[in-house]
Amino acid sequence: MSPLDQLLLRSYLDGQMDEAASEAFELRLMQDPQLAEMVEADAVLGIGMRDLAEKPAATVPNMVPLVATAPRHPTHLPYLLAASVMLVVGFGAGREFGAQRLPSPVPAPLVYVDTTRGATHAATLKIPPSGPLILAVPLLENGCLPDVVISSDGTELRSAAAPDASGYASVLLDAAQLRSGNASIGVLCSKREVARYAVDFTR
Amino acid sequence: MDQDGRHNRPLDENDVLGCLPGVRALILRMTRDLNATNDFAQEVMIAVIVAVREGRLREREALPAYVRQAARHIVFAAQRKLQPTAMEVLPEQEGAWQGAPRTPLEYCEASEMQRMAREVLDELPTPRDRALIVGFYVEGRSKIQLMGELQLDAAHFDRVIFRARTRMRDRIRDKMCERQNLSDAPVSRMGSGHKGR
């Protein structure tokens, strides 16, 4: 397809042609199967995306659920004891009942911190009142297994996050855990803070 | 005039059927409905073939405009709940129709569109590109709006959209080849059958 055809195709599909130009393009469409393919692909993409939005089939790989932790003076001994007990029980249960079943897939909106809008103000993140939510934040450092910490009004949510190839770290959480208003999201690599983002959660 | 002298011979049904990919694309763009598109495209082909047979359409140069107008008329008529004219002779039952060029839509079921759209979306490298596609195709936001919201320049916007469209086209092509291979296998042993484009 020539650059001119690409330009015409883009104008046509983006609705930027006037009526006469659209008619002329559609006459070419009748005689050019390659152009027809691209117009079809655009329509199929639109239909498929619309269906995805209506009937989302979100599967969220590599997501780790957030757990609320006490923000100050953590003492690890009770947790270590509890973990030891659970480990023993877990091994026994695992042997008894075989492989662990994964939960069924559920739809979950994706919200991400967009640093391209500039760092002069808190990024506004629109979140649902409750339900599963995927939060993605820029990682800014490759090769680490990050933790994400969300701080708001003296409370703190902390979780291991899943890094992806795009340089984002993602966590899956219940939107009800997040309070509306200003919050701060920190990204830690090996307990060292590598990034912090000011955000404003709105519903 | 082309090499095989196509322009010298009178207009025939094969010329009409050659417009089928364009007709389908146009109707799909107008209706955004796969089933309606297949039905309407067939009606258009029937109407134009009958016009050629009855001598109402003779000029080769007039064919694209005639086909386009027929497509628009049939879609608008359906939208106004008008019934199309019944045809006594149905060309789709004849040999010519069997030789019509196959188009990707004939090989693509509605449920597959969703899966292919998901794959195209997942292949985009950044969340911002994915947000662009969702904003453009699902939320119906304009190019100008999205460029402002996502802090993109026009070139980047065009690149992402073009990449998504091209990948969708490739997926549909793959699907077409896959189905053709399945359907051609037994037919070819019988010494007939259409190979598509």
Residue-by-residue DSSP string for B73-115: HHHHHHHTTPPPPP-SS-GGGSHHHHTSPP-GGGG--HHHHHH
Rounded average pLDDT over B177-197 = 47
Asked if the model's pLDDT at residue A57 lies above 50, the reply is no
Average model confidence (pLDDT) for chain A?
A: 75
DSSP assigned state of B81 = T
For residue A74, the model assigns a pLDDT of 53
* Pairing state between β A181-189 and A192-202: antiparallel
Chain B CB contacts of A10 under 8 Å are: 158, 161-162
DSSP-assigned states of every residue in A17-80: S-HHHHHHHHHHHTT-HHHHHHHHHHHHHHHHHHHHHHS-----TT--B-EE--SSS---HHHH
CA-to-CA separations, B81 to A102, B33, B75, B77, B78, in angstroms, rounded:
49, 16, 10, 6, 5
| Range scoring the smallest mean pLDDT among A15-19, A160-164, B129-133 | A160-164
For residue A78, the model assigns a pLDDT of 63
Q: How confident is the model at residue A118 (pLDDT cuts 50, 70, 90)?
A: very low
For residue A80, the model assigns a pLDDT of 66
Q: Could you tell me if B134 lies within 8 Å of chain A, comparing CB atoms? A: yes
Q: What share of chain A is helix, strand, coil (3-state, %, to 5)?
A: 35, 30, 35
* Pairing state between β A155-160 and A67-68: antiparallel
pLDDT in tens, B116-156: 888 888 888 888 888 888 888 888 888 888 888 888 888 88
Q: Could you tell me if B151 lies within 8 Å of chain A, comparing CB atoms? A: yes
Entry field: residues in chain A: 203
Asked if the model's pLDDT at residue B98 lies above 80, the reply is no
pLDDT in tens, B47-75: 999 999 989 998 889 999 999 999 999 98
Six-digit token string for B9: 């011979």
What ipTM, to 2 d.p.? Answer: 0.73
Six-digit token string for B140: 């119906």
Chain A CB contacts of B24 under 8 Å are: 36, 40
The number of CA neighbours under 13 Å toward the Cβ of B110 is 13
Which residue in B75, B114, B115 has the most chain A C-beta atoms within 10 A of its own C-beta, making it the best mutation to test that interface?
A: B114
| Range scoring the smallest mean pLDDT among A28-42, A83-97, A123-137 | A83-97
Of chain B residues 58-117, which have a CB less than 8 A from chain A? 63-65, 67-68, 101, 103-105, 108, 110, 113-117
